[in-house]
A and B are shown apart, each in its own frame.
Chain A
Amino acid sequence: TSTSMPMPRYSLAEFRYGREEMLALMPKDIKMPNCLRHFPLLIRENFQIPLALTPVTEEEQRLWSSRSVNSDLAFRASGKTGP
């Protein structure tokens, strides 16, 4: 029983929520917080259902199944010419 690398000990968070829990805890009646009213260009009056609960569009599917999700600029930064 050997360990190759000493792992740092991280303090475990007390309040943890998995993705499904976060989604399940979405309240039924949600009012817009007043602070958002200062940003008319950024807000939606009606609550928007999280994308996690909406189907992936065909376009998204196409992008995810393409050869890479990275932009062309990412390849330029990496020194490679393309995926």
Chain B
Amino acid sequence: MNNIATLKSAVTGSGSGNSSPPPSPPPLNGCPNGQLDCLELSDPEEDEHRLQYAYVLWFSQRQSGKQNNVQPYDQNLKLIGGFNTVEKFWAVYGHLIRPSEMALHSDFHLFKYGIKPMWEDEANKDGGKWIVRLKKGLASRCWEDLLLAILGEQFMVGEEICGAVVSIRFQEDIISVWNKTANDQHTTIRIRDTLKRVLNLPPNTIMEYKTHNNSLRDKSSFRNTDVFLH
């Protein structure tokens, strides 16, 4: 089960007698060498519940005290694990620390298999993200609610969702949801409204949107956003 062939067949659904999506085999370029084989994406057991997509969980942490010698972002990205069923998700999620227990400047990234959590990725390059900056103490519950909604396909925007990130920062924690097409307003609005519902955000919550193009331009994840107040 620990090989790419199995992984591929797990992701495409071939070999399982199950004629279900994901539609095409995702590219394997998203995974650093030597880490792909630790994904446990074997074909779902008979009693398991398949997810619409396979997902990969990543972790990153900014190295402290090396401002002049910043490692390339993708070298800080560590692939933690992957899953393609509800049961396998719980096995991964339930054995990880909560976001609130993570060190400052660390992030969990949950992305569809084949999409790297980077602005430059083919699936992200025309996309953007919704951002909710939260007071400390709220991120863990929000992150869990968000994961359940994404994996359960509650956003109802077809294939538009790329992934989600929780970022632990100084004086705030940030939840982001990335989508494919930043200029598709129907989709971005639906994602915003669903996000509000699934996280139970109060009506006055500030939400921000930023295109990855703008992030590439100003090299920042959370500055210069479009702010939405209600």
A and B: interacting chains: yes
Chain A residues within CB distance 8 Å of chain B: 5, 7-8, 10-19, 21-23, 25-27, 30-36, 38-39, 42-45, 47-52, 56, 59-60, 63-64, 66-75, 77-80, 83
Shortest distance from the beta carbon of A73 to any chain B beta carbon, whole Å: 5
Q: Which residues of B contact A83 (CB under 8 A)?
A: 204
B52 touches A16 (CB 8 A): yes
Q: Which residues of A contact B88 (CB under 8 A)?
A: 33
Interface size on B, residues (CB 8 A): 68
Q: Which residues of B contact A18 (CB under 8 A)?
A: 152, 154
What residue in chain A is nearest B159 (Cβ atoms)?
Answer: A11
Complex alpha-carbon distance, A11 and B155, angstroms: 12
A69 touches B21 (CB 8 A): no
Known interface pairs A50-B93, A70-B134, A78-B229; 18 further A-B residue pairs with C-beta atoms within 8 A, sorted by A's residue number:
A10-B158, A14-B20, A14-B52, A19-B148, A33-B40, A33-B91, A42-B80, A44-B96, A48-B98, A50-B90, A63-B135, A68-B135, A69-B134, A71-B171, A72-B172, A74-B133, A74-B208, A77-B206
Shortest distance from the beta carbon of B15 to any chain A beta carbon, whole Å: 18
Chain B residues within CB distance 8 Å of chain A: 20-21, 38-40, 49-52, 59, 78, 80-82, 86-88, 90-98, 102, 132-138, 140-141, 144-145, 148-149, 151-154, 156-160, 171-173, 184, 186-187, 198, 200-202, 204-206, 208, 222-223, 225, 227, 229
Contact of B52 (CB < 8 Å), options: A7, A15, A68, A75: A15
Complex alpha-carbon distance, A72 and B135, angstroms: 8
In the complex, number of A-B residue pairs with CB atoms less than 8 Å apart: 185
A selection of 17 A-B contacts at a CB cut-off of 8 Å is: A7-B186, A10-B158, A19-B198, A22-B148, A30-B90, A32-B91, A35-B40, A35-B80, A35-B82, A36-B96, A44-B96, A47-B95, A48-B96, A60-B137, A64-B138, A70-B206, A74-B208
Given contacts A52-B145, A60-B138, contact A74 B206 (CB under 8 A): yes
Q: Which residues of B contact A69 (CB under 8 A)?
A: 134-135, 138, 201-202, 205
